[in-house]
Amino acid sequence: AQKITQTQPGMFVQEKEAVTLDCTYDTSDQSYGLFWYKQPSSGEMIFLIYQGSYDEQNATEGRYSLNFQKARKSANLVISASQLGDSAMYFCAMRGDQFYFGTGTSLTVIP
């Protein structure tokens, strides 16, 4: 069974606009962690943000925030004020009994 689902294979956003990348997860664990990573076309991997299941506040890192809705089992990534350099693949992941990655969402920022 797929543990992490990213339903948006590709997304477009206008520069300076905000964009939400969806991620839903499936776990029966009480303790788990949720992650987002960015991979530009250059192939490097960049860790963006982490949310623990017991964290009461949504995680934020600069222009990135994780919209954590525990009851809905969603961990959407919100990027505010998109920049051209945000164009990349974005992967959602969960640490539970094992570590699961989603299939990714390709984000293109349009000037």
Partner 1 sequence: DAGVIQSPRHEVTEMGQEVTLRCKPISGHNSLFWYRQTMMRGLELLIYFNNNVPIDDSGMPEDRFSAKMPNASFSTLKIQPSEPRDSAVYFCASSGTGGWNEQFFGPGTRLTVL
81: left (phi over 0), alpha (psi -120 to 50) or beta: left
In the bound state with partner 1, the residue whose beta carbon lies nearer, of 41 and 111, is: 41
47 binds partner 1 (CB under 8 A): yes
* Interface segment toward partner 1; rule CB under 8 A; list 13-21, 31-39, 64-72, 75-83: 31-39
Q: Which residues contact 83 (CB under 8 A, 6 or more apart)?
A: 15, 16, 109
Among 12, 40, 46, 62, binds partner 1 (CB under 8 A): 46
Contact with partner 1 (CB under 8 A) among 8, 11, 27, 33 = 33
**Residues 49, 27 contacting (CB under 8 angstroms):** no
Out of 44, 56, 57, 111, the residue judged to bind partner 1 by CB under 8 A: 44
Alpha carbon distance 86, 39 (integer Å): 10
Question: How many residues belong to the site for partner 1 (CB under 8 A)?
Answer: 18
Q: What is the DSSP string of 12-25?
A: EEETTS-EEE--EE
The 88-107 site mask, x for binding partner 1 (CB under 8 A), equals: ---x-x-x-xxx-x-xx---
